[in-house]
Every structure is written in structure tokens, then in C-alpha cells.
Amino acid sequence: MNLKELNSNWINEFPQPMMIAGPCSAESESQMLETARRIRESGAPVPVFRAGIWKPRTKPNGFEGVGVIGLNWLKKVKEEYGFKTATEVANAHHVFAALEADVDVLWIGARSTVNPFTVQEIAMALRGVDKPVFVKNPVNPDLALWIGALERLLGQGITKLGAIHRGFSTYQKTKYRNNPNWQIALDFKSQFPNIPMLIDPSHICGNRTGLADITQEGLNVGYQGAIIESHCSPDEAWSDASQQITPEVLADLISNLKIRTTEMAGFEDEMGRHRTLISDIDFQLIELLSQRMKVSEKIGKLKKENDIAIFQPERWKVITEYARQKAGETGMSQEFMEKLFKAIHEESIEVQNNIMIDR
């Protein structure tokens, strides 16, 4: 069997959209039970409770997870509040411990998906397991690695597979902690429409403000659910404090989502995806323009220090010539390109003028 032949019926065991929520990390029994209780009491339709037991940290000496003791707390969450449970596994030892503790849903984290040795080790430890396993996109924007990880799992007989879109790391700081890069996730989705996909707005946003919009966007493009970090006391969380929300805020977020109906499929579905791609590209255009202005500003400072005129006609000629040539190569009109670059250039001059005025 290959990935395209997999069927996604397993997801029907869960209410749709499939919502997974809970703290980034398990910290203490009381934190876990209070978070679980409040999610239940909020009435949010969340069938699966998540918590990281082992935490991959960028730098040493951070909180690296409570370890196996946290698995007992997940068990209690299941017994007392009737949740299914989910955690991240990053090596064979994690897999055996999580299976032993009867965790219901497992996921491979973004830092593990990048490493074929790690994924292979996890896949082999999971051999033949009949539980849902989600694969988060790798931290770097590489579609093949993401698909490869799912293939390794399928190769070991794991058939309840899903994908999680958690965004991609970039060097450039933007409003996102991890850039959504919708193009990659939608390419994945169009190649494997049969594999359930969840959105992880928490790790895309890295803050609380953008969560609802990103979750909605995930549903608009046809994802089957979301995994959202929720903590009983977010500001005090031991990891990812700035992006976690209380159970009550979570319930509110979920109740405000517009859930797709099947009649919306087809035209609206395709429109939704195109719109998402356009917004994503516009966002990147704006980010690039802002970076360009920052470089311009640096040039402005150098000109000021060296008493050079802001407007450099030869330089402007080179830029317009380049833009005209590129217009030809990409099939856009020269007129459009000239107008666009004229506007960018004018703003650039303005930025540099402001530096001169600061004198």
C-alpha cells in the first residue's frame, strides 16, 4: 500500500472537526487535572487532551519535560475526565513508554520529522500499532521530508496516519513564530487529500492574538481539525507561555469558528485555498518590502555620513532596467513593473530623506 491508497476513516472515531487541546508541557499533576477539568467544564468540543512529556528545547538547561511521571497524569486525565490523550514521541524509548501508558494518539514533532534516522527509529518502535500517529511538518520547508516520514510509518504497518501543519522556521523575524507557508501544506493536501490534516495555530503564531484567524484559515482550506495549546495558567507555563490560552478562551475560540459544511466543498473550497495562497504571498511581499526599506535606511545613513546626494541617477537606471528585463522574463507588463518600482523607489527616497532631516 502507498500513502495515496490510505483511507482516512479512522478520523470518524472523533467528532469533527477533530480538536486536540492541552498544555504545551505536562508540569504537575494539579496543572494537568485543572486544565483538563476546565476544558471539560467549558463545554468545548475537545475529545483529545495533549501534553508534552519530553520537550525538545533549542538550548540546553531549559525545561526538558517531566518525563515518564507525566504519563501517569495523562492516565488520570483520561480516567477522571474521559479524554483520549496525546503526546509527542521523539525516540523508541518514548514510544515504548507512551504505549505502555496507553496514550491514545501520538505525534512526531517538527524537530524529529527533519531527521530520517529518528523517524525510522520511531516508526520501527511503533511497528504494527493501531493508534493514530500524526506527523508535524519539518521545521524547514521541505515537503519531501514530511512525506518521507509518513512513508516510513506506513512502511511499518501504521495506517492511522495524519499530518499537522505547524509552520516553518525562518531566519527573518516576522509576526509569526513559524511562517505558515501555506503553499507547502496545500501541496501536501492536494497530493494526499486522503490524509487528515490538522492546523497547529499555537506554534505558527507564537502568541495568543493570531490563533483564531489561523485556526479558521485551516478549516477554510479543508483541514479536519486543530491542535491548540491550552493551560490553566498560561502566563506561568514552563514552556511556550506566550502562546497558550486558558480553557475558557479556548472554548470561546472554538465556538466562534465557522465550520465548513459539505455543500461548501467544490467551488468555495478551491476559492478558499486560492485566497489563502494570495494572502500568504501578499504577506511575504510586505515582509520583503519592509526588509528592503530597512536596507535602504542603512544606505541612507551611509550617504548622510559621507555627504552623498540621496538620489543617484545611475543607480536608479540600473534598477529600472533590471525590473524591465524581469518583467519580460516573467510575462508581466513592463508598464506595471515600472509603476511598481517607481513607487518603491519613491518610498525609499522618502525613507532616506527622513534620515537627512534627523540630522
Stretch that binds ligand PEP, among 103-111, 187-195, 209-217, 283-291 (CB under 6 A): 103-111
CB of 203 to ligand PEP, least distance (A): 4
DSSP 164: E
Question: What's the rounded Cα separation, in Å, for the pair 20 and 86?
Answer: 8
- Binding-site partner at residue 136 among ligand PEP, Mn ion, none, CB < 5 to 8 Å by type: ligand PEP
Residue 279's CB is within 10 A of a number of other CB atoms, namely 13
DSSP 272: H
Q: Where are the alpha helices (DSSP H) in the chain?
A: 29-42, 69-81, 92-100, 110-113, 116-125, 143-155, 182-191, 201-205, 211-220, 247-255, 267-305, 313-330, 334-357
Task: Identify which of residues 24 and 89 has a Cβ nearer to Mn ion in the complex.
Answer: 24
- Binding-site partner at residue 280 among Mn ion, ligand PEP, none, CB < 5 to 8 Å by type: none
Number of residues lying near Mn ion (CB under 5 A): 2
- Binding-site partner at residue 138 among Mn ion, ligand PEP, none, CB < 5 to 8 Å by type: none
- Binding-site partner at residue 166 among Mn ion, ligand PEP, none, CB < 5 to 8 Å by type: ligand PEP
Who's near 131: CB < 8 A, 6+ residues apart?
A: 103, 104, 105, 106, 160
Among 6, 18, 20, 24, contact with Mn ion (rule: CB under 5 A): 24
Grid coordinates belonging to 215: 485556526
CB of 71 to ligand PEP, least distance (A): 16
Question: What's the rounded Cα separation, in Å, for the pair 301 and 299?
Answer: 5
Annotate each residue in 61-90 with x if it binds ligand PEP (CB under 6 A) or - if it does not, as one string: ---------------------------x--
Among 6, 20, 106, 110, contact with ligand PEP (rule: CB under 6 A): 110
Stretch that binds ligand PEP, among 106-114, 146-154, 276-284, 333-341 (CB under 6 A): 106-114
Backbone angles phi, psi at 130, to 5 degrees: -100, 40
* Furthest-apart CA atoms within the chain: distance in Å: 74
Q: Does 52 interact with ligand PEP (rule: CB under 6 A)? A: yes
Which residues make up the interface to Mn ion (CB under 5 A)? 24, 240
Which residues make up the interface to ligand PEP (CB under 6 A)? 24, 52, 56, 88, 109-111, 136, 166, 203
